[in-house]
């Protein structure tokens, strides 16, 4: 059962009134319950256990340098796919659930602005998920590569690849929160976000230019950079446009939530 964290009255004014109080509440929902442990175990099994199986098989058939390259690519491509789905599923109720239960109406009756309510969810859900599903599995992954390939990824290129990976996840977090302000049930929220994710495997084959203007190029850029391979000449275009789409999702969520009638 989630720990109840009472909100404290805020006497300040501005568009982020109550932000700190709601951040504390969101933090408690992750770190003062078993939610963090569930995610920790889940991502250890989904990512690191799978990497162990791939590495164990590769050790028998390939040279160490080939095993390392294969592990990096699997970690960022397969792990990246599952974490993108995971961030959608784990945050689909962040806004929608409180709207359905009526807790959003009660919380917003306190000294709390609607932007503070939404942005606290974006911040805490994002940082908590990235810590449990990205940072910890990455640390474990570095130990696994040492075991399976007798070497580790080059830190600079690998960190560059991880930046693309994190940007990809933050976009889907923003998209999911935005969808949660427009729809009234979980099905359309998760369905639209995950459907958009999988569309990235199909539509670029028909319309290649979409890779430049949508986040679908980021998983490829992530793996390419982490492996130390040359990036496409216009690699910065999808990076910039994804930032723009992420900001647009946040602005759309703020706009729609301001017009929500409670």
Verdict on whether the full-model pTM lies above 0.75 = yes
- In the prediction, which pLDDT does 190 show? 95
- In the prediction, which pLDDT does 105 show? 77
Q: Is residue 22 part of a domain?
A: no
Least Cα distance to 91 among 117, 125, 46 occurs for 125
Q: Is residue 232 part of a domain?
A: yes
CB within 8 Å of 54: residues ≥ 6 apart: 70, 71, 74
Q: Is residue 16 part of a domain?
A: no
- What does the alpha-carbon distance between residue 18 and residue 60 come to, in Å, rounded to a whole number? 57
CB within 8 Å of 106: residues ≥ 6 apart: none
- In the prediction, which pLDDT does 95 show? 87
Q: Is residue 26 part of a domain?
A: no
- What does the alpha-carbon distance between residue 25 and residue 121 come to, in Å, rounded to a whole number? 10
Q: Which two tokens stand for residue 178?
A: 């935005």
- In the prediction, which pLDDT does 12 show? 52
* DSSP alpha helix (H) spans, the chain: 19-31, 35-43, 50-61, 64-91, 93-101, 103-107, 114-130, 136-149, 155-182, 186-199, 203-206, 210-213, 218-226, 236-258
Q: Is residue 18 part of a domain?
A: no
Q: Is residue 45 part of a domain?
A: yes
The 8 Å CB, 24+ separation contacts for 60-69 are 64/149, 64/150, 64/151, 65/149, 65/151, 67/148, 67/149, 68/145, 68/148, 68/149, 68/151, 68/152, 68/153, 69/227
- What does the alpha-carbon distance between residue 114 and residue 122 come to, in Å, rounded to a whole number? 13
- What does the alpha-carbon distance between residue 49 and residue 89 come to, in Å, rounded to a whole number? 21
Least Cα distance to 18 among 127, 124, 119, 117 occurs for 117
Decide: 168 and 218 in contact? Cβ < 8 Å. yes
Q: Is residue 170 part of a domain?
A: yes
Q: Is residue 27 part of a domain?
A: no
Domain count, the chain: 1
Decide: 18 and 112 in contact? Cβ < 8 Å. yes
Q: Which two tokens stand for residue 161?
A: 């690849």
Decide: 232 and 256 in contact? Cβ < 8 Å. no
User: What is the residue range of 136's domain?
Assistant: 33-258
Which tens digits make up the pLDDT trace of 153-172? Answer: 999 999 999 999 999 999 99
Task: Mark the ranges of the chain whose per-residue pLDDT is less than 50.
Answer: 1-2, 10-11
- In the prediction, which pLDDT does 10 show? 47
């Amino acid at each position: 059962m989630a720990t109840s964290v009472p909100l404290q009255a805020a006497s300040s004014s501005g568009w982020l009134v109550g932000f700190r109080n709601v951040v504390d509440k969101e933090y408690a929902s992750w770190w003062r319950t078993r939610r963090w442990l569930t995610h920790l175990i889940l991502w250890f099994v989904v990512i690191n256990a799978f990497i162990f199986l791939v590495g164990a098989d590769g050790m028998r058939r390939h040279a160490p340098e080939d095993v390392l390259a294969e592990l990096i690519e699997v970690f960022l491509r397969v792990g990246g796919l599952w974490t993108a789905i995971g961030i959608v599923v784990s945050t689909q109720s962040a806004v929608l659930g409180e709207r359905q239960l009526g807790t959003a109406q009660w919380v917003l009756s306190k000294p709390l602005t609607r932007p503070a309510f939404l942005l606290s969810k974006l911040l805490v859900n994002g940082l908590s998920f990235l810590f449990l599903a990205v940072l910890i599995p990455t640390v474990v992954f570095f130990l696994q590569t040492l075991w399976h390939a007798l070497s580790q990824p080059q830190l600079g290129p690998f960190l560059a690849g991880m930046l693309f990976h994190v940007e990809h996840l933050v976009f889907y977090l923003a998209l999911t929160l935005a969808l949660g302000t427009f729809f009234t049930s979980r099905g359309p929220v998760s369905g639209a976000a995950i459907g958009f994710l999988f569309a990235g495997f199909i539509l670029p084959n028909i319309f290649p230019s979409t890779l430049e203007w949508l986040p679908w190029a980021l998983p490829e850029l992530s793996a390419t950079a982490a492996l130390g391979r040359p990036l496409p000449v216009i690699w910065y275009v999808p990076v910039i446009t994804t930032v723009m789409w992420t900001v647009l999702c946040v602005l759309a969520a703020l706009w729609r939530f301001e017009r929500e009638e409670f």
